[in-house]
A and B are shown apart, each in its own frame.
Chain A
Amino acid sequence: MKLHFEVPGDDFTRAGEASGELKRKLKRLGFDPDVVRRAAIAMYEGEINMVIHAGGGVVDVEILPDKITIILTDYGPGIEDVDKAMQEGFSTAPDNIRMLGFGAGMGLPNIKKYTDTLNIKTEVGKGTVLTMTVLTNKQA
């Protein structure tokens, strides 16, 4: 089944709503708690990133019995140095966001940790597409 979420970029307090909805759905579908957690957290991190850095975006999720694919698309500034962004602790988040406890530089590293595949397509000035999958028959 397919899900589509619009993630608004102008209301930071609503960030995390879409991944919360995915979590509720996956639970009700009866996926293993570990799968639910990995998919929900990976999407949450991506969603927060889109709101902090890219002014929002859209998320498309495809749920299959053996695989959950999450595609986050934004038209933000793009990632200048993907390797750096993948390092734990590296962040370009502004101070006001860090005050809220975000911007620890764990977003992309956590996504990598919780997913089975991660593909980042990014172009500076154009935007970023994050495609991640969580396999449902494999324990983390």
Chain B
Amino acid sequence: MDRFFHSVTLDKDLCVGCTNCIKRCPTQAIRVRGGKAQIMPERCIDCGECVRVCPHHAKKARHDSLDMIKKYEYTVALPAPSLYGQFNRLDDIDYVLNGIKALGFDDIFEVSRAAEIISDATRRLLSDGKLKKPVISSACPAVVRLIRVRFPDLCENVLPLRSPMEVAAELAREQAVQKTGLPPESVGIFFLSPCAAKVTDVRVPIGIEKSNVDGVLAISDIYPRLVSYMNKLQNTEQLSHSGIIGVGWSSIGGEAAGLLNENNLSADGIENVIKVLEELEDEKLQDLDFIELNACAGGCVGGVFAAENGYVARARIQRLRKYLPVSCNRMEDVGGVAGLLWTQPLEYAPVMTLADNVEDAMRVMNKIDKMAERLPKLDCGSCGAPTCRALAEDIVRGLARETDCIFLMRRQIQDIVGGTQQQEG
């Protein structure tokens, strides 16, 4: 499997080479070269910021298509809880779940069920006191990838539990095999996702060797068909089996609320997440037990594959979950914490370091510092790099030229013109 696979990708034909995406990228992973944006795969964390900000819709997030379900004898859909916030005047989650079955799936397994199991496991791990505090949620795949490339010191603080999606996928497959007698590989498990990073997380997972999910479908992609099936439903069978805690994971603060412990912090939006991680790194938040971080504003409801405005979806879910039980699923349902733990530790990926050893890195940094002094410090982006400093680094690495800076070029031209004028005079 491609180590540098990314959901986020570029449609070259649509890219006009503007500076919107390069300025917004939290890992400075994008450059405009030859009039087109380029994504550095080793730096991209699939947060989707560039997809959101691109006015030309040239940045896209890849996902699987609904046709893929035909490849399997039996299929189970895993709806993310954020899906429930996409519908106006919805008062019963079972409408959504029955609609998904009508769409062509044999069964559904709510991700919110697995979220409640993870909430339960997190509560117990926290009270056992074996985790390094403050514990950082591992639920947001973009945040975990951000920590891996930018916050080496915090890798140990990340909650070593599998995501609700993965736990749901495993349980769904087990149930399907039991019910049908089919071999596990004949069962197709599909996540209905608000999130582009989840597409990457399934292809190149962190913490586990292989994902149990066979395909990731974008909520925005299936939404129109799903709505039409939901409108045609005659009667609904009872399928929903999760409570306030599980459904609450759909927006920021939900996971933390599920810990039933006030000593936590929740932050959403990638820039805010970075600020919190920096404070954490400086050991300024040592008193907290738990930190919930979501790359998207509002939490998963704000994902790039969501069909509805994230804040509207959040408000709807708040109303929708009002009369649900607090929680319907417990850790015992999966036989304890062991099966929920990551099997591989989160390891720092030093993609931002300047060289393999400190001596060389210092030489490179010296050169970058010198080059940066010559640049105008306007961070205009016209050169295709997000900041003057980033251009200085690209020049030193041989990836860009000084004349890519229009201000340096203007100065050079003025020098030449000034020289000829002097000669003439």
Other CB < 8 Å A-B pairs besides A20-B282, A30-B358, A41-B283, 17 of them?
A19-B282, A20-B278, A25-B365, A27-B150, A28-B361, A28-B365, A29-B365, A30-B353, A30-B354, A30-B356, A33-B348, A34-B153, A36-B152, A40-B282, A65-B358, A65-B362, A136-B358
How many interface residues does chain A have, given as a range?
20 to 34
| Given A36-B153, A63-B362, A29-B353 contact (CB < 8 Å) | yes
Q: Quick one: CB contact mask for B275-296 with A, threshold 8 Å, 1 for yes?
A: 0001001110000000000000
Q: Which B residues touch A25, using CB under 8 A? A: 365
Q: Does B357 contact A (CB under 8 A)?
A: yes
Is A37 engaged at the interface, CB distance under 8 Å to the other chain?
yes
Residues of A near B359 (CB, < 8 A) are: 65
Question: What CA separation (Å) do A19 and B282 show in the bound complex?
Answer: 10
Report the minimal beta-carbon distance from B367 to chain A, rounded to whole angstroms.
Answer: 11
Please, what's the 1-or-0 string for B325-354, where 1 marks a CB less than 8 Å from any CB in chain A?
Answer: 000000000000000000000001010111
- Using C-beta atoms within 8 Å of the partner chain, give the interface range for chain B: 20 to 34
- Asked if residues A28 and B348 are in contact (CB atoms below 8 Å), the reply is no
Q: Are B353 and A28 in contact (CB under 8 A)?
A: yes
Q: Which of A25-59 contact B (CB under 8 A)?
A: 25, 27-31, 33-34, 36-37, 40-41, 44
Complex contacts, B406 vs chain A, CB 8 Å = none
- In the assembled complex, the CB of A61 is this many whole angstroms from the nearest CB of chain B, namely 12
Partner among A16, A33, A41 whose Cβ is within 8 Å of the Cβ of B152: A33
- Quick one: closest A residue to B352, CB to CB? A28
Distance in Å: Cβ of A106 to nearest Cβ of chain B:
10
Q: Which residues of chain A have C-beta atoms less than 8 A from B366's C-beta?
A: 1
Q: For the complex, what is the distance from the CA of A31 to the CA of B359, rounded to whole Å?
A: 10
The 4 closest A-B pairs by CB, nearest first: A30-B353, A33-B152, A29-B361, A33-B153
How far, in angstroms, from A36 to B412 measured CA to CA in the complex? 40
Say which residue of B282, B283, B362 sits within 8 Å of A29 (CB atoms).
B362
For the complex, what is the distance from the CA of A36 to the CA of B282, rounded to whole Å? 10
A36 to B354 CA separation, bound complex (whole angstroms):
15
Interface centre among B150, B359, B362 (most CB of A within 10 A): B362
List A contacts of B282 (CB < 8 A). 16, 19-20, 23, 40-41, 44
Determine the chain B residues whose CB is within 8 A of the CB of A27 once the complex forms.
150, 152, 352-353
In the complex, what's the smallest C-beta–C-beta distance from B60 to chain A, in angstroms? 31
A19 to chain B: closest residue by CB: B282
Q: Would you call B355 an interface residue if the criterion is a C-beta within 8 Å of the partner chain's C-beta atoms?
A: yes
> Which residues of A lie under 8 Å from residue B358 when comparing CB positions?
29-31, 65, 136
Shortest beta-carbon distance from B348 to chain A in Å: 7
Contact between A28 and B153, CB atoms less than 8 A apart: no
Give chain B residues whose Cβ lies under 8 Å from the Cβ of A1.
Answer: 362, 365-366
Q: Does the CB pair B281–A28 fall under 8 Å? A: no
A37/B356 in contact, CB under 8 A: no
List A contacts of B152 (CB < 8 A): 27, 33, 36
Q: How far is the CA of A20 from the CA of B124 in the complex (A)?
A: 35
A-B contact pairs, 30 of them (CB 8 A): A1-B366, A16-B282, A19-B282, A20-B278, A20-B282, A23-B282, A25-B365, A27-B152, A27-B352, A27-B353, A28-B352, A28-B353, A28-B354, A28-B365, A29-B354, A29-B358, A29-B365, A30-B354, A30-B355, A30-B356, A33-B152, A34-B153, A36-B152, A36-B153, A41-B283, A44-B282, A63-B362, A65-B357, A65-B359, A136-B358
Q: How far is the CA of A136 from the CA of B366 in the complex (A)?
A: 20
Q: How far is the CB of B280 from chain A (nearest CB, A)?
A: 11
| Chain A residues whose C-beta falls within 8 Å of the C-beta of B361 in the assembled complex | 28-30
Residues of A within 8 A of B283 (CB): 37, 41
Closest chain A CB from B223 CB (angstroms) = 41
B192 to chain A, nearest CB (A): 37
Complex: A136 Cα to B352 Cα, angstroms? 19
Inter-chain CA distance A30–B352, complex, in Å, is 8
B319 to A: closest C-beta gap in Å = 37
**Residues in B whose Cβ lies below 8 Å from that of A29:** 353-354, 358, 361-362, 365
Contact with A along B155-182 (1 / 0, CB 8 A): 0000000000000000000000000000
Residues A30 and B350 in contact in the complex (CB < 8 Å), given A1-B365, A23-B281, A37-B281: yes
B358's nearest neighbour on chain A, judged by CB, is A65
With a cutoff of 8 Å between Cβ atoms, the chain A residues found around residue B153 in the complex are: 33-34, 36-37
Q: Which residues of B contact A44 (CB under 8 A)?
A: 282
Chain A neighbourhood of B356, CB < 8 A: 30
A121 to B247, alpha carbons, bound, how many Å? 59
Which of B150, B278, B282, B365 gathers most chain A CB within 10 Å? B282
Closest residue of chain A to B284, judged by CB? A101
Chain B residue with minimal CB distance to A37? B153
- A66: shortest Cβ distance to chain B, in Å? 9
Q: Mark contacts of A78-113 with chain B using CB atoms, 8 A cut-off: 1 yes-contact digit, 0 otherwise.
A: 000000000000000000000000000000000000
